[in-house]
Amino acid sequence: MQNSFKLRLLPILSVVLMTFFWGYNWVVMKQAVQLVGPWEFAFIRNFFGALILLVLLVFMQKSLKIINFKFVFLIGMFQMIGFTVLVLAALVHGGTAKTSVLTFTMPIWANLLALYFLKEKMTNKQILAIAVSLIGLILIFDPVHKNADFNSMLIAISAGFFWGCGVISVKKYNEKYPQVELLNLTAWQMLLGSLPIFIVILAKGIEIYEINPYFWKASLYNIIFCNALAWLLWNYGVKNLKTGEVSTISLLAPVIGSLAAFLELHEALKINEGIGLIMILCGVLFTILLASREGSK
């Protein structure tokens, strides 16, 4: 049906748009963590991004009530600390392209968790699309490379795992509380997730950093586009698409991040990394095609 196709296409496009914001942000974050610490930058982007969404809720006269505080707090812990903070920590010493790719082991974790917690089933074509993308990830990961920073790689993979946990948590929350406004959930997960980050900053001692104009540009880009807007787009996609679909489409982000790192930071791509990027792109496009066809039936 045409209406069904349109309803299916909108969440797909929302995730694709999100990947462009997050994809380029790998370059932005890499340069930002050279200016301030990962905990501090994570707090700035999460806290102020949440404030924007809360103001928007008030402006739209939507409810500010938190439904199931503990559940929303858990989502915030997974996505704001387990994902955002660990990503920034990995970028301090790790390469931009490789860190972005390893973080996007998220589809592996999300799909494995979805099989158990959400009882989702995947078709053979969906499995093929994910497999092609994951082979691309392995090629970029280059597991036999001896000079890779093990700690940064491990942190990046851990970020992917916690992001996968966040995906499953949002899915479960939406199933349990379908009446909750997406804007409400996104705002509160960001705000609640930023509070423990602030406690850590106080506990380790507030540091004074030398701030330059790029920091303000990076902060605004992260607050507005990569947090307030991107998390809204992401949660919308998670709510309306299958876990395998949304997680595989999101693999566009490390492709964009790797290319941006090559063009802006002059991080050269190896042959295996270039092939890996192409395979990921093919897997993403195949997933989008399958999702669109399913919705048009």
**Is-contact 50 187, C-beta < 8 A?**
yes
pLDDT band at 296; cut points 50, 70, 90:
low
In 3D, which of 114, 111, 113 has the Cα closest to residue 129? 111
pLDDT of residue 284: 79
In whole angstroms, how far apart are CA 11 and each of 163, 210, 238, 272, 295?
A: 19, 40, 8, 32, 11
Strand, coil or helix: what is 204? helix
> What's the pLDDT at 292?
63
- HEC per residue, 130-154: HHHHHHHHHHHHCCCCCCCCHHHHH
Give pLDDT, residue 6. 66
Q: Which pLDDT does position 246 carry in this prediction?
A: 86
The confidence score (pLDDT) of residue 70 equals 97
Q: Are 63 and 184 in contact (CB under 8 A)?
A: yes
Which spans in the chain are helix H?
2-32, 38-59, 69-76, 86-93, 96-103, 106-117, 124-141, 150-176, 182-204, 213-220, 230-240, 243-249, 252-264, 271-296
Measuring CA to CA, which residue among 181, 163, 195, 187 is closest to residue 49? Answer: 187
Of residues 168 and 288, the one with the higher pLDDT is: 168
**8 Å CB contact between 51 and 223:** no
pLDDT for residue 100? 87
- 133 in Cβ contact with 251 (< 8 Å): yes
User: When comparing pLDDT for 47 and 136, which is higher?
Assistant: 47
In sequence order, which residues have a C-beta less than 8 Å from that of residue 163 and are 6 or more positions away?
A: 78, 79, 82, 83, 103, 106, 109, 110
Q: Angle formed by the axes of helices 86-93 and 96-103, to 10°?
A: 150
Mean predicted confidence (pLDDT) in 36-62: 95
Chain segment 207-223, per-residue pLDDT in tens: 878 888 999 999 999 99
Distance CA(241)–CA(170), nearest Å, equals 12
pLDDT band at 237 (very low <50, low <70, confident <90, very high): very high
Of the chain, the end-to-end C-alpha distance in Å amounts to: 6
Distance CA 38, CA 159 (A): 13
Tens digit of each residue's pLDDT (9 = 90 or more) over 91-130: 998 888 888 888 888 877 887 888 888 888 878 888 888 8
pLDDT of 297 > 60? The answer is no
pLDDT of 285 strictly over 70: yes
